[in-house]
Structure 1
Amino acid sequence: MKNMNIEISYSSRKVSFNIPEKNLAGIIRPRETAAALNQSQIDLAISGSKTAEEFISIVQGKNLCILLPDGTRDLPIDKVLKALTALLDRPKHIRFMICTGTHDAETEQNKLIINQTASLMQKSGIKNFDIVIHNCDKAEFIDAGTTSRQTNVLYNAAIKDMDVFLALSDVKHHYFAGYSNPVKNFVPGLCAYKTAEGNHALSLDEHSRFGTHPWHRIKELQDNPLAADQVEAMEKIIDRRAFWAVVMLSTKGQIQWLDFGKAKEVAAEAFSKADEWNLYEVKQVERIIVSPGGTPNDIDLYIAQRALELTKQAIADGGEILFVSACDKGIGAERTMQHFWNLLTRPAEEVLATVRGGPYKLFSHKPLRFVELISRLRHLWLYSELDDETVRAGHLSPASNIQEIVDRWLRQKPDVKILAVDGANKLAIRAAKN
């Protein structure tokens, strides 16, 4: 019997295990259908694009605000900014905003982004810039009104005098916002905690799901209440100001595809490309091994959970998932603990009643999703750096050895089919219709 040796990402390294060829249902990773773009190709796609001249004319003598993702994302910011420098000698002033949303503002990763950005600008001879890290608690906020879905839009006053916005966005499927996309740089990226909470309450709506967005080119895939609320809130924030974006698909810090232009147009193109490359349809199986894709996507359980939400359609009821996620920084940021972890450690019935009964508290959609998934599984195993007692407290089953779990599955059912998924934070799986 031929064994297949499989490597998947874990923290900053790889871990491996063997599955007999006859038991392997498949290996799914983010598609690398194109070679990674080199710096010259990235430069050409931005400063050499047809839209570059229009962008230059728009930002000439204006205040340009460049919206950067925070340090929890693995977008290769330096490569994109290097390509943009050819266009950045025209604005009167440039303000870089690090869009943290409700994430911690003062982190080592965010400091690294500041240093990299400042160094690159200075080397390029650009001096008329500053860098601001968004803080959802301490920033000064402007009230832009309320959306039709009753989200109070409070945004960072640091962008009030900006004339043109340019977002950097690594587009991938998002389990309730449809896709990670340029709009999210504003909402929740630059909004108050209250705004994020109001918007994220819509994550409980079954239509808030991956692969859907109001900007999607396919009409049937435009219904997503949470994403629609984000778009409406963003429109209240920017009013008639120009909104441009550099959108890309990347994996492991390498850009496979990139476009530059007006945000709505290039985002729609990116959604189509993400669907083409990284949306999979599979028959449900009884066993799955899932890795979020290593650092930074598995640094804590709060962040890593996205990978489960994007792949759970592949698991049959009564099945088992082995979640391979280092969680070397623990459960999650301190601000998430009360309504995420502390709630998850309560009895399942209490979690369901608390979240579904409302009122919604930010982060509480996560324990709800965990409980809903666990309730239809035989086991949700977690191979991580967390101690066994902590893992069990969250209704998960600790795994100390990946191969032991695989061998256990094979003993229980010699013909069992096992699906392996790596880089699950950058893809999405739909269950094939019977």
Structure 2
Amino acid sequence: MKKIKIKYGKSELEVEVPDHAKILTPSEKPPQKEEGEILTEALDNPINSPKIEEFIKPWDNVLVVVPDKTRKAKVNFVLKFVLERIKCKSVRVIFATGTHQRQTEEEKIEILGEEIYRSFKVVEHDCFNDRFRFFGITSRGTEILLNEVLCDADKILLLGSITHHYFAGFGGGAKMIIPGLASYKTAIQNHKLTLTSKGDINPNATNLKLDGNPVYEDIVEAFKICNFKAFHFGVVIDEADKIVGAFCGDVISSHKAGADFLKRFFTIPVDEKFDAVISSAGGFPKDVNLIQSHKSIHHSHYIVKDGGQIFCFVECRDGIGSKTFLDWFKFKDVDEMRKELLKNYSMNGHTALSLINKLKVANINLKTSLPMEVLNVIGLRSLDDFDVLKNINGTIAVVQDASIYLPTYYGGY
């Protein structure tokens, strides 16, 4: 047996697995540089854009858009770095919470740091109760209703992380505005593009895919219709919470450059599928709730054999992360569920369908704080006894940070 460490919430667990278990790691690591050097190089070489100190003038009213607690972006460190460059005093910060639950003051301070939190006006997006401005309708029918604070800014700075995303291709970039600062109506219209006209999961709304991805292309079209004066600064963070890549400038171009970086350094090609996959989201905040944890389960399912087992460590300290998610599991017939999704789609409905599809392929076992009744409703199993992992028969893969590392099977998805 060999011992491995698994991140779980804000702690770390040690488990034993058979010696033949294969620990999956990327074949290539990003160049090792100091974080400050990485940020400086990015800011000195913006992509398809003037430098940030030329783009943002000292007299501009600047809106800084940052991610909420479900995304790790080292906002405090990066924003301080940027503020030293632009020397701008008229700054407002808004958390792009999308449709996520509201944060406590302590959680906001943890992200921004006490100094920034107390120095600038800080607001949090509310997809239900904020005032929204209508900008138009995309060719796919998404009504663009965005938070009015965007209209008060001379310049907009999008500051966040670039990550894998299981239906938008990659997170970050323009996604920080749509759905990050969008109304609930806009968000669900965009997310419904994950479905085909028959209510199945759209195969083009998937990991690693931007071109031809209906969700991503709808976001980009909406962003271009709005014609914001925006500058993007996206970072890539590894499993040690270190910034290993940074990309800034034009929102679309710099985000795509970051996506290419992720494809190179944060995918793990494998030439076989496994009888069992043991994985972790990588701890908090990636396993803050079930909706966020699902991304790691999704990554794990790409490399498990039909009829296999997934063992995933996801704390879910904030519960499910959606008030409507469990409602989708009341349907005993998947065809009825698909019809209802097309008729009355609600946020994370596609996630429920995706999870049901994965449960047809493999048994999914969670080490989690979610109550047993929740697991039972969904059809998930509880991983209570770690000794089970010692006795797995067949081939085993271990992905210790399945939220940021994407296993890619040569045979396709």
Deviations 1:239-281 (A, max 9, x none): 1x43211111102432111133222222121111100001222
CA deviations on 1:177-206 (whole Å, 9 max, x unpaired) are: 000121111000110000000000012222
SS of the aligned residue for 1:62 comes to coil
Per the alignment, residue 413 of structure 1 pairs with none
Q: Which residue of 2 aligns with 1:148?
A: 139
Segments of 5+ residues of structure 2 without an aligned counterpart are 196-201
State yes or no: 1:368 paired with 2:353.
yes
Q: Distance in 2 between matches of 1:376 and 1:50?
A: 44
Shift in alpha-carbon separation, 1:34–1:355, aligned structure 2, 3 A: farther
1:310 & 1:389 partners in 2: Cα distance? 25
Matched, 1:243 2:230: yes
Q: Shift in Å at residue 319 of structure 1?
A: 1.0
Map 1:265-280; keep pairs closer than 5 Å.
Answer: 265-280=253-268
- Superposed, 1:253-292 pairs within 5 Å as 253-282=241-270, 283-292=272-281
Give the Cα separation in 1 of the matches to 2:299 and 2:258: 18
Residue in structure 1 matched with residue 150 of structure 2 by the alignment? 159
Total equivalences in the alignment: 402
Code of the residue aligned with 2:323 in structure 1: it is M
Which structure 2 residues correspond to residues 246-395 of structure 1 after superposition, within 5 A?
A: 246-251=233-238, 252-282=240-270, 283-332=272-321, 336-338=322-324, 340-344=325-329, 346-347=331-332, 349=334, 352-355=337-340, 357-377=342-362, 379-395=363-379
1:48-71 Cα offsets, whole Å, 9 max, x none, are 557897322222132222111112
Tell me how far apart the structure 1 counterparts of residues 375 and 33 of structure 2 sit (CA, whole Å): 38
- 1:85-234 map, 5 Å: 85-89=83-87, 91=88, 93-108=90-105, 110-112=107-109, 116=113, 119-120=115-116, 129-204=120-195, 205-213=202-210, 222-234=211-223
Q: Which moved more, 1:27-36 or 1:228-237?
A: 27-36
Counterpart residue type for residue 411 of structure 2: K
1:364/1:145 Cα in 2 relative to 1: closer, same or farther (>3 Å)? same
How far apart are the structure 2 equivalents of 1:16 and 1:151?
46
Q: CA deviation at 1:29?
A: 6.9
Deviations 1:157-196 (A, max 9, x none): 1110322221112111100000012111100011000000
Contact 2:24 2:268 in 1 (8 A): no
Deviation per CA, 1:299-319, whole angstroms, max 9, x where unpaired?
A: 221221111122321111111
Corresponding position: 1:6 with 2:7: no
Letter in 2 for 1:388: M
Cα distance in 2 for residues equivalent to 1:121 and 1:300: 25
Measured after TM superposition, the shift of residue 398 of structure 1 is: 1.4
**2 CA distance for matches of 1:85 and 1:27?**
39
Farther-moved stretch of structure 1 (308-317 vs 380-389):
380-389
CA contact (8 A) 1:42 1:83 kept: no
Q: Distance in 1 between matches of 2:400 and 2:130?
A: 38
Displacement of 1:115: 5.8
Q: How does 1:48-87 map to 2 (within 5 A)?
A: 48-49=44-45, 54-60=51-57, 61-87=59-85
What does the per-residue CA deviation read over 1:319-352, in whole Å, with 9 as the maximum and x for residues that have no partner?
11112111233222xxx222x1232254353664
Change (3 A) 1:389 1:132: closer
**In 2, distance between residues paired with 1:224 and 1:392?**
33
1:292, CA displacement in angstroms? 0.7
Where 2:309 maps in the other structure, the secondary structure is strand
Please give the alpha-carbon distance, in whole angstroms, between the structure 2 residues aligned to 1:80 and 1:351: 47
Q: 1:356 to 1:138 in 2, by over 3 A?
A: closer
Take 1:106 and 1:418, find their aligned partners in 2: how far apart are those partners?
Answer: 38
What's the TM-score once normalised by structure 2's chain length? 0.89
Asked if the contact 2:155–2:230 (Cα under 8 Å) also holds between the matched residues in 1, the reply is yes
Q: Matched residues in 2 for 1:317 and 1:432: separation?
A: 16
Partner Cα distance (1:31, 1:71) in 2: 29
Counterpart of 2:359, as a letter, is I
Quick one: percent identity of the two aligned structures? 23
Give the direction of change, closer, same or farther, for the CA distance of 1:59–1:33 in structure 2 (3 Å limit). closer
1:44 to 26, 33, 40: 40
Counterpart Cα distance in 2 of 1:351 and 1:320: 27
Unaligned runs of 5+ in 1: 214-221, 411-415
Aligned partners of 1:352, 1:316: CA distance in 2, in Å? 26
Distance 2:149 2:229 in 1: 17
Please say if residues 299 and 327 of structure 1, whose CA atoms lie closer than 8 Å, have aligned partners that are also in contact: yes
Say if 1:43 and 1:327 are closer, same or farther in 2 by CA, change over 3 A: closer
2:299 and 2:407 in contact (8 A); partners too? yes
**What's the CA shift string for 1:4-40, capped at 9, x where partnerless?**
2221211112222222323x133347975444634x4
Tell me the amino acid that sits aligned with residue 5 of structure 1.
K
Once residues 119 and 81 of structure 1 are traced to their aligned partners in structure 2, the CA distance between those partners, rounded to angstroms, is 11
What SS does the aligned partner of 1:189 have?
coil
- State the match for 2:199 in structure 1: none
Check the 8 A contact 2:150/2:156 in 1, yes or no: no
> Which letter does structure 1 place at the counterpart of 2:237?
S
Contact 1:36 1:255 in 2 (8 A): no
Offset at residue 383 of structure 1 (A): 1.5
SS at structure 1 position matched to 2:403: helix
Give, as a single letter, the amino acid of the residue that structure 1 aligns with 2:246: L
Which runs of 4 or more aligned residues in structure 1 lie more than 6 Å from their structure 2 counterparts after TM superposition?
50-53
In angstroms, what is the RMSD of aligned CA positions?
2.5
Secondary structure at the residue paired with 1:302?
A: helix
Deviations 1:101-155 (A, max 9, x none): 0112343454325762x61487xxxx6x422211111110001111100011100
CA distance in 1, matches of 2:296, 2:90: 39
Separation in 1, partners of 2:39, 2:373: 50
